[in-house]
Chains A and B, each alone.
Chain A
Amino acid sequence: MAEDPILEQWRRWAVGDAKRRELAEMASGLELVAKAATRLRAASWVPDAARPEATTSADDGRY
């Protein structure tokens, strides 16, 4: 998946902000968060507004 430009901008900002706050050691942790966010954005369950919705649950009287 192509890098999400907002996520890339966020990553740079977060690492820079951590340095500004004298928490530079946090950079590797923030990289892990960025990797996790990238994975989640590519996950199959993430909705796609361009696709039709699918109803997968049974009409079991809950609603």
Chain B
Amino acid sequence: MMAVTDDPAALDVVTAGHQLRSGALTSVALTEACLAHIASRNDELRAFITVTADSARAAAADADRELASGLDRGPLHGVPISLKDLIDQQGVPTTAASRVRGYQPAPSDALVTSRLKAAGAVLIGKTNLHEFAFGTTSGVSAFGAVRNPIDVSRSAGGSSGGSAVSVVTGMAIATIGTDTGGSIRVPAAACGIVGLKPGFGEVPRDGVVPLSTTFDHVGPLARSVADAAAVYGVLARRAVRPPAIRPLEGMRLRRLGGYMEALLEPGVRTVYEQTLERLRGGGAIITTAELPHAEEIASIYLVISLAEGAAYHAKTLQQCPELYDPSVRLRVEQGRYILAEDYLRALAGCQVIREEVSAALANVEALILPGSAIAAPRLDQETITIDGAELPVRGLMLRLSQPFNLSGHPALVMPCGTTKEHLPVSLQLVGQRSNTRALLDVGATIEAAIR
């Protein structure tokens, strides 16, 4: 964690923006502060694969000149942002944390990268991840396992683990990740920051290495809901006003029970229940619902993601299978055996889950559930015992996030407390499809209530 509270790299986007405009801070100073954190801790934490220090310094100097001349490109102008290394930035390699892609520079910017540049963001580097996003721990990467700064023996979550670490440690002020089954929300939860998976299709994926085209989303990880909203506005190219904090009194929320609460680590369950109690105490009206087909979610996800992943990787699986990490290769290979009729049944299942999530949202402002069923696991941990049952870490980490990749609804995680071991626990809010803005308002209200 960051040790110095007056460090500019500890500022959130909104506060940094005020200081950049008032002249209390320059983008060059802010960028240097982030680069200093990278220099001091990246070897240990392996958050970044590539640091673009020279181009970041040049962009920061440009931002300072523009702001001084009165040209204001918006809330990210002059703010250091990191990019998950699945997202193309012209002239910089996109490795996907794999030896398969080599270290060749991307020929052009991803659409989200060009939007960030146009918004004046300072792109500070490309962050580490689970190879090709095919995992939840960020423990498998050609550039070494990402370590959680809260406890370096633990996973930072994944697959956008390096992205989350870059924000927690002040290596960047915010970051861009991708989320196929939870890869923004899982690391945000493991590291105790905010993560937003926007609604499906809201943020373009052109120039982003895919995992599963049915489920892939691009979105921000940040230090507050307001920061996530600012970055989301740029990524989705929408005029997003700062989220409105409303009275909690009378806010209607619906808790997802049944499957969604059946398997929670005891420490997570305790903090989650305490958080719900605080919200009720503040006047929120919390009812309960279940998704009737929740038990089928993991099967739907497995079949679609493996089949689509295998389709993307078919050529390199033939040409250079030895360049994949063995665990990732095995997962990708499995997808080659999926039958078309099962894939189609799974696609039909997505529609069923989408309708059930929409039905659960009827007459409430958001669904509420834990951000993750477990706190950050140890990097070498493959199973966790809950209520006497030994369960795979991977399934537990995805369990509460993947439903909304199937359904396409926007989902937001934010920290709500810590376990006895001082590991972050998160809350997840799910909003109406195509109304991510309203979800951000609910999120900001709840963030203010539980802070």
B302 close to chain A: CB less than 8 A? yes
Interface contact B334-A30, CB-CB below 8 Å: yes
Contacts of A36 in B (CB 8 A): 298-300, 302-303, 342
Interface hub of B295, B302, B348, B352 (most chain A Cβ within 10 A): B302
Contacts of B424 in A (CB 8 A): none
B103 close to chain A: CB less than 8 A? no
- In the complex, which residue of chain A has the Cβ closest to the Cβ of B292? A44
Number of interface residues of A (CB under 8 A): 21
Interface positions of A from 13 to 37, Cβ below 8 Å from B:
14, 17-18, 23, 25-26, 29-30, 32-33, 35-37
Contacts of A30 in B (CB 8 A): 334, 337
Interface contact B330-A25, CB-CB below 8 Å: yes
Q: What is the bound-complex CA distance between A36 and B339, given in angstroms?
A: 12
Interface contact A26-B338, CB-CB below 8 Å: no
Q: Mark A38-60, 1 if CB is under 8 A from B, else 0.
A: 01110111100000000000000
Contacts of A26 in B (CB 8 A): 330, 333-334
Contacts of A33 in B (CB 8 A): 302-303, 306, 334, 337-338
Q: What is the bound-complex CA distance between A25 and B328, given in angstroms?
A: 12
- In the complex, which residue of chain A has the Cβ closest to the Cβ of B302? A36
Contacts of B306 in A (CB 8 A): 33
Write the nearest CB–CB distance from A32 to chain B, whole angstroms.
Answer: 7
Q: What is the bound-complex CA distance between A18 and B321, given in angstroms?
A: 14
Interface contact A35-B299, CB-CB below 8 Å: yes
Q: What is the bound-complex CA distance between A36 and B402, given in angstroms?
A: 15
Q: What is the bound-complex CA distance between A23 and B352, given in angstroms?
A: 35
Q: What is the bound-complex CA distance between A40 and B337, given in angstroms?
A: 16
Q: Mark B320-349, 1 if CB is under 8 A from A, else 0.
A: 000000100011011001110010011011
Write the nearest CB–CB distance from B343 to chain A, whole angstroms.
Answer: 9
Interface contact A40-B330, CB-CB below 8 Å: no
Contacts of A41 in B (CB 8 A): 342, 345
Write the nearest CB–CB distance from A36 to chain B, whole angstroms.
Answer: 4
Contacts of B302 in A (CB 8 A): 32-33, 36
- In the complex, which residue of chain B has the Cβ closest to the Cβ of A14? B337
Contacts of B300 in A (CB 8 A): 36, 40
Contacts of B345 in A (CB 8 A): 40-41, 43, 45-46
Q: Mark B295-310, 1 if CB is under 8 A from A, else 0.
A: 1101110110010000
Top 5 A-B residue pairs of the complex, sorted by shortest distance between their CB atoms = A36-B299, A40-B345, A39-B299, A14-B337, A37-B342
Chain A residues close to B by CB (< 8 Å): 10, 14, 17-18, 23, 25-26, 29-30, 32-33, 35-37, 39-41, 43-46
28 contacts between A and B (CB under 8 A): A10-B337, A10-B339, A14-B337, A17-B337, A23-B333, A26-B334, A29-B330, A29-B334, A33-B302, A33-B337, A33-B338, A35-B299, A36-B300, A36-B303, A36-B342, A37-B303, A37-B338, A39-B295, A39-B299, A40-B300, A40-B342, A40-B345, A41-B342, A43-B293, A43-B349, A45-B293, A45-B345, A46-B345
